[in-house]
Each structure stands twice: as C-alpha cells, then as structure tokens.
C-alpha cells in the first residue's frame, strides 16, 4: 500500500476524527453537568460516557494497528494528509509507521484501562467534571502527538499535554487532604519547605515544562525557515549540517530536544515529576506509562528513526547523540539511587520512571553507532515499562485507598486481604526488573548488547553504568514489593469495594505475559534479535546480578542512614527549583528594574532638563539686544586669538 492509496481509503478522515475527538466530546456531558450544579448526584453516573469515548479511540487505534499497512520495522510509512495551508507546505499530516501504530495502540489500551479503574477510584471525588475532561484531553493530545508527522500539528498535541497535566496534577486544588501531598508536612531543610501541595505540584509541572517548550518552539521555526518543511519524515536532515554547520546543528537540535528533556524529566528538570504525585493516582499511572513523560522519549525515537544518524555519520549529530547518551545514563542513575530510599509509594514509582526514561534516551542515542536496532530496544522497553508501571501505580492507588496512607506500609495481612494487588505487584516487579527469563530480561539483554557495542567509542563506561542502574533498579522494585506486603508497618485496612480497580490492573499486568510469549515464540524482527541477545552468557550474568539485587531489596528493604536520608531527599535537587533559580530570577528582575529606572530617569528627567537648559541659554543669547550680540562676537574672536597664540599658530 502506498501513500497515495491510503488517501483513498474509505472513511479514513472519519476514523481519525473518532480517534482524536471521541474522548473529548464524550467528556462534555459530565463537564457541563458539573458546571451547572457543584455536586449533582445524578451526574456521578456520567463518567461511563467518558470511558466509552476512550473505548472508541481504542477501537480505532487497534484498527490502524492491524489494518493500515504492514507491521514491520522495515515497512514503508503510510501517510494521510488533510490540506490546510498547502502553499506554505503546512498541513495536517498523519503518519502510520511501525512506531506510531504500536505507540497509538499502547496509549489507547492503557488510557482505557486506567479510565475503567477511575470509575471506582474517583467515584466520590468533588471535581469529577474537571477530572474527566482533562483526563480525556490528556489522552487525545497524546494520540495527536503519536500520529503526527507534521511538527506544527504535533506541537498542538504537545501543548495539550502540558495544559492537561496542569489541570490533573493540581486537581485537588483545595490542598486540604494530607494524602494528596508529597513529602512530610511541616518539614523544612535549611528554611526550605520539603512538602508540596497539589496546587504547587501543578504549577511546578507547567512552569518547568515551559522552560523546554520555548526553545523547542523556536527550533521548529528555524527548521521551517531552513527547509520549508515540517514533516519529520521529509525534512532533509542530512543537508542541514551543510547549511548551518556543526555548531548550528548542535544548537538547533539541543534547542529542539529541550522540549523532550523537560517533558521526560531528565536532569536538571526532574523535580516536577516527583511533586506531580500530588495528582490522583490514575493521573500518575497515565502520565508515567503512555503519555506526557513517554512523549519526550517517543519524539526522540521518532527523530532518530527518520534522521538515521547511523547512515549520516555527521559530526554535529554525533555531538548531540553523545549528549543524549550520557544525560540519559546520568539521569537514570540519579533517579535509581533516589528510589532506593524513597518512602512514599508514588514518589518511589516516579523516580523509577525517571530512571527508565533515562535508559530509553540512552539506548535510542546509541543508534548513532549501533543502528536502528538501538531505537527498537528503546521503544520496546518503553512498551514493557508502560504496562508494568501503569500496573504498579494502579496497585499503589488501591493500597492508598484501602490503607489511607501514601507511605510504604503493609504486611502479610495486606497480601492476604488484597491478594490481587499482591499478585499484580509480584508479576509487575519481577517482569520489569530484568530477571531471567521474564519479559524485561530479553529487552534488557538487547540494551546490554547495545551498550557493549559502544566499547570502541567510550570504553566500558556506558555498559558499566547500565549494569549498575539495572541492579539498583531491581533492588528498589524488590523494596516496593516487600514494604507493601511483607516488611512494612502494620496498618488498618478500610476494605470497601475494589473489584473494578483489581480487574483493571490485572488485565494491565497480563499484557506483560502476552509480550513475553511474543518474545519467546516470534520469528520476526526485532524479537528474534532480543531472544538471541538473551542467550548470551554475559546477558545471563547480568540477569543473575539483577536477581541478587532484587532479593536484597526484598529481604532488606530499608536504608536507614544519613546517606539514605540524603537519597530520600532527592539529593536536594529541589533547592535548584525552589531556591537557586528563584534567587537568580529575582536578581535578573532587580537588574531589569534598575535598567527601567535608568531609562525612566534618562527619558523623563535628564533629557528634558538638558533641553530646558539649552532652551534657557538660547533665550539668553537671542534677546534682541545689539550690544549683547557685539559682546558675544568680540568675546568669541578674543577666544580664537588666545587659542591661536597658545597653539603657536600666531607668532
């Protein structure tokens, strides 16, 4: 099937309208009802319509996955264009390739399951109209990002994610429930608050993301000015370096990647992700699995897919990919260390997400030297991580719901009474940690192979960092299981319902088993390559290290020491967000204020006074007196004579 043929597909435009608009339109009834009456009891039945809208998007995404083109990494991408400004080559261009079809289905499946979970979890919330509108807008915006080939259209979805994240992270804007906070209430370090409310979390998220969105926007404008094209798959990436040189490529690409870096919470933009846990757990699950933070890594994978840096071997791109490689690894290590001592359920999972995102960036960046296989490794790790992390967040929400405690706590009684939560946690942590022969082991083996290929460029450093991160990662996953179901403090359970929530996360975690079967039985790329890497003795050795680390986290989950407190406090990176940057900002504001005062003084006082003095002098000279004019002339002549004599011009 060619690009021309896809434009002739019947009902394609209508299908895309259903894909993007059905979640938003389906959320209108409850949003309108909640706007008419603050708490209409009859409106509490309307969220089912919002979930129905998500289900429609899911059906369309699955149709695209299985019926539009061939599902192969080597298949030619198919496009569908809606012309908008054709004279300027600015149109709505949707692309259906290996990455977008799988990512679209992933987003739709996870959003639908989390939506089902939310029917019970958010049932008694005081702001349901707000919640469901922004939840569905969040999903629709991510789907627009996923399928967009045109960067301007992608930017619309990108900004939709930002707005929706603000609305959802700060959902409980009253700041009146301790369970919605992050940190220990009233705790301070060096005078700085170490606790954050939902309203603060929402503001931190959108203000941090804006730091990256602005340079990304200007980079997009520069790309259009340089190439006359905004379609990712059509931009002549190879010719850019000839036009703007090595330094130009580095500046342009880093400016563009500032958006993905901030969206995916890479250092030093990580703090917003931790305090975003003030939002409902359903929001955290969606944000950390298939939307928002995943959008940053997905965009970098899409860029790499079409830039094909392994074919170009241009110096400018090499510098950019080196930056992304080591920024990803360092961010991943930082977040993994933080998670080892974090005491809050959702914040631990947030740190683990940041760590995973760093590995995705690093693996995709390795494609410059390794090839397309590195992008596939990063992408399939994204898929595995999405299902596992969504499961763990939904379990965490269920535990918070039943224990009324956001900190890690629980013993065997919790495991017995919430057995489905326990089973889901066991499967998700084992399958995500990289223990052989479970799901993540095969993809982590591919990642080991990718980093091993970088030995000629960077020595063993990337591989050593990856193995260290993998061990620490599995350790805190073991800790999460242990502190919630074995060795946490005893808690009083408030059991009420939970059947819908349990069903949702059990279906979610079962996808990890389905993917494992795919890895073990498929003879297609890239699964056969993952399987081959998993059979390497070096990969098995790393798998054993991961197993030992998981066991240590399971049997000795607490790290009680000053070092543990330092890690639990996220190495005080929050001082950058809450103290250093504001101080710098106020210093700049003060300089600007002094500048404004100088301009004001110059324009409104100094210059007018100068003209006033000049005018008074003119009036003094030109008073109509012939005698005064003669005195001025004689005086001027005498002055010239004196100067001439002094200069030796007159002997």
pLDDT digits (tens, 9 = 90+) for 424-434: 999 999 999 99
Question: In whole angstroms, what separates CA 383 from the centre of its chain?
Answer: 15
Q: Determine, yes or no, domain membership for 530.
A: yes
Residues 83 and 94 sit within 8 Å (Cβ to Cβ): no
Long-range (24+ apart) CB contacts under 8 A made by 237-246 are: 237/306, 237/307, 237/308, 237/312, 238/312, 238/314, 241/314, 241/315, 241/316, 241/317, 245/316, 246/314, 246/315, 246/316, 246/319
Q: Determine, yes or no, domain membership for 580.
A: no
pLDDT digits (tens, 9 = 90+) for 464-503: 999 999 999 999 999 999 999 999 899 988 887 789 999 9
The residue among 515, 549, 572 that closes a domain is 572
Query: Is there a single domain that holds both residue 26 and residue 124?
Result: yes
The residue among 517, 545, 572 that closes a domain is 572
Q: What percent of the chain has pLDDT over 70?
A: 96
pLDDT digits (tens, 9 = 90+) for 579-633: 887 788 788 888 998 988 899 888 888 888 888 887 877 777 676 677 767 777 7
**Summary mean pLDDT of the chain:** 90
The residue among 519, 542, 572 that closes a domain is 572
pLDDT digits (tens, 9 = 90+) for 181-196: 999 999 999 888 899 9
Cα distance between residue 367 and residue 378, in whole Å: 10
238 burial via Cβ count (<10 Å: 0-12, 13-18, 19+): middle
Query: Is there a single domain that holds both residue 559 and residue 593?
Result: no
Q: Residue 51: pLDDT band by 50, 70, 90 thresholds?
A: very high
Query: Is there a single domain that holds both residue 614 and residue 485?
Result: no
pLDDT digits (tens, 9 = 90+) for 547-567: 999 999 999 988 778 888 899
Q: Decide: helix, strand or coil at residue 83.
A: strand
Q: Decide: helix, strand or coil at residue 65.
A: helix
Long-range (24+ apart) CB contacts under 8 A made by 203-208 are: 203/166, 203/170, 204/271, 204/272, 204/275, 204/276, 204/577, 205/165, 205/166, 205/169, 205/272, 205/275, 205/276, 206/162, 206/163, 206/165, 206/166, 207/272, 208/262, 208/269, 208/271, 208/272, 208/577
Q: Residue 2 has what pLDDT? A: 40
Q: Residue 522: pLDDT band by 50, 70, 90 thresholds?
A: confident
- Residues forming beta bridges with residue 183, ordered by sequence position: 195
Cα distance between residue 50 and residue 31, in whole Å: 10
Backbone angles phi, psi at 327, to 5 degrees: -65, -40
Q: Residue 90 has what pLDDT? A: 79
Which conformational region is residue 32 in: left (phi greater than 0), alpha (psi within -120 to 50 degrees), or beta?
alpha
Query: Is there a single domain that holds both residue 258 and residue 358?
Result: yes
pLDDT digits (tens, 9 = 90+) for 340-398: 999 999 999 999 999 999 999 999 999 999 999 999 999 999 999 999 999 999 999 99
Query: Is there a single domain that holds both residue 508 and residue 610?
Result: no
pLDDT digits (tens, 9 = 90+) for 280-314: 999 999 988 888 899 999 999 999 999 999 998 89
Q: Determine, yes or no, domain membership for 579.
A: no
pLDDT over threshold 70, residue 543: yes
Residues 303 and 156 sit within 8 Å (Cβ to Cβ): no
Which residue range is the domain that position 630 belongs to?
585-647
- CB atoms closer than 10 angstroms to residue 76: 12
Cα distance between residue 462 and residue 473, in whole Å: 16
- Residues forming beta bridges with residue 188, ordered by sequence position: 193
* Residue whose structure tokens are 């289905």: 105
Query: Is there a single domain that holds both residue 491 and residue 404?
Result: yes
Backbone angles phi, psi at 91, to 5 degrees: -140, 170
Query: Is there a single domain that holds both residue 516 and residue 609?
Result: no
pLDDT digits (tens, 9 = 90+) for 127-157: 899 999 999 999 999 999 999 999 999 999 9
Q: Which residue has the higher pLDDT, 54 or 560?
A: 54
- CB atoms closer than 10 angstroms to residue 50: 29
DSSP secondary structure code for residue 77 in this structure: P
Query: Is there a single domain that holds both residue 259 and residue 294?
Result: yes
Cα distance between residue 166 and residue 204, in whole Å: 9
Query: Is there a single domain that holds both residue 642 and residue 495?
Result: no
Query: Is there a single domain that holds both residue 122 and residue 223?
Result: yes
Cα distance between residue 44 and residue 34, in whole Å: 9
Domain count, the chain: 2
Query: Is there a single domain that holds both residue 590 and residue 540?
Result: no
- CB within 8 Å of 621: residues ≥ 6 apart: 628, 632
Task: Give the mean pLDDT of 15-30.
Answer: 94
Q: Residue 497 has what pLDDT? A: 77
Q: Determine, yes or no, domain membership for 578.
A: no
Q: Residue 509: pLDDT band by 50, 70, 90 thresholds?
A: very high
Q: Determine, yes or no, domain membership for 11.
A: yes
Q: Determine, yes or no, domain membership for 405.
A: yes
Q: Determine, yes or no, domain membership for 577.
A: no
Task: Give the mean pLDDT of 112-136.
Answer: 93
Q: Determine, yes or no, domain membership for 291.
A: yes
Q: Residue 291 has what pLDDT? A: 81
Residues 165 and 210 sit within 8 Å (Cβ to Cβ): no
Cα distance between residue 175 and residue 177, in whole Å: 6
Query: Is there a single domain that holds both residue 155 and residue 213?
Result: yes
């Amino acid at each position: 099937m060619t690009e021309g043929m896809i434009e002739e597909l019947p009902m394609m435009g209508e299908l895309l309208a259903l894909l993007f608009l059905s979640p938003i339109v389906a959320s209108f009834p409850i949003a309108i009802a909640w706007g008419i009456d603050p708490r209409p009891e009859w409106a509490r039945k309307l969220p089912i319509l919002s979930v129905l809208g998500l289900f429609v998007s899911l059906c369309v995404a699955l149709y695209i996955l299985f019926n539009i083109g061939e599902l192969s990494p080597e298949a030619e991408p198919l496009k569908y264009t809606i012309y908008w400004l054709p004279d300027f080559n600015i149109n709505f261009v949707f692309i259906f390739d290996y990455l977008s079809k799988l990512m679209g289905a992933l987003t739709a499946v996870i959003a639908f399951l989390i939506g089902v979970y939310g029917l019970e979890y958010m049932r008694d919330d005081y702001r349901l109209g707000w919640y469901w509108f922004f939840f569905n807008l969040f999903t629709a915006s991510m789907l627009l990002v996923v399928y967009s080939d045109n960067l301007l259209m992608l930017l619309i979805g990108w900004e939709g994610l930002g707005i929706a994240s603000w609305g959802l992270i700060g959902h409980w804007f009253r700041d009146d429930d301790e369970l919605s906070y992050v940190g220990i209430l009233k705790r301070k370090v060096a005078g700085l608050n170490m606790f954050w409310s939902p309203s603060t979390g929402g503001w931190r998220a959108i203000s941090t993301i804006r730091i990256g969105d602005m340079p990304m926007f200007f980079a997009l404008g520069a790309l259009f000015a340089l190439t006359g094209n905004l379609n990712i798959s059509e931009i002549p990436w190879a010719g850019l370096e000839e036009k703007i040189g090595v330094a130009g490529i580095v500046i342009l690409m880093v400016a563009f990647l500032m958006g993905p870096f901030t969206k995916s919470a890479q250092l030093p933009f990580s703090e917003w992700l931790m305090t975003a846990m003030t939002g409902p757990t359903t929001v955290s699950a969606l944000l950390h699995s298939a939307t928002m933070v995943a959008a940053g890594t997905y965009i970098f994978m899409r860029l790499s897919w079409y830039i094909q840096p392994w074919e170009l071997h241009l110096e400018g791109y090499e510098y950019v990919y080196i930056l992304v490689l080591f920024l990803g690894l360092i961010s991943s290590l930082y977040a993994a260390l933080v998670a080892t001592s974090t005491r809050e359920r959702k914040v631990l999972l947030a740190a683990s997400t940041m760590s995973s995102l760093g590995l995705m960036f690093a693996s995709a960046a390795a494609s410059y030297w390794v090839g397309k296989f590195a992008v596939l490794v990063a992408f399939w790790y994204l898929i595995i991580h999405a299902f596992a992390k969504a499961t763990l967040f939904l379990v965490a929400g269920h535990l918070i719901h039943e224990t009324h405690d956001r900190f890690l706590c629980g013993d065997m009684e919790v495991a017995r009474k919430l057995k489905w939560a326990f089973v889901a946690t066991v499967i998700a942590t084992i399958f995500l940690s990289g223990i052989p022969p479970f799901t993540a082991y095969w993809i982590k083996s591919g990642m080991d192979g990718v980093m091993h290929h970088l030995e000629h460029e960077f020595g063993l450093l990337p591989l050593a960092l990856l193995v260290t991160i993998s061990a620490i990662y599995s350790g805190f996953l073991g800790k999460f299981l242990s502190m919630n179901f074995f060795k946490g403090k005893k808690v009083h359970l408030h059991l009420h319902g939970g059947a819908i929530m349990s069903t949702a996360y059990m279906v979610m975690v079962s996808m990890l088993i389905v993917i494992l079967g795919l890895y073990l039985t498929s003879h297609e790329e890239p699964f056969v390559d993952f399987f081959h890497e998993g059979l390497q003795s070096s990969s098995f050795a790393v798998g054993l290290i991961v197993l030992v680390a998981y066991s240590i986290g399971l049997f000795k989950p607490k790290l009680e020491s000053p070092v543990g407190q330092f890690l639990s406090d996220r190495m005080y990176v929050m001082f950058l967000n809450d103290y250093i940057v504001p101080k710098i900002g106020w210093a700049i504001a003060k300089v600007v204020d002094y500048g404004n005062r100088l301009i004001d003084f110059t324009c409104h006082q100094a210059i007018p006074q100068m003209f006033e003095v000049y005018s008074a002098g003119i009036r003094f000279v030109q008073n109509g007196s012939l005698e005064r004019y003669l005195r001025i002339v004689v005086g001027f002549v005498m002055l010239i004579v004196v100067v001439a004599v002094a200069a030796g011009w007159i002997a």
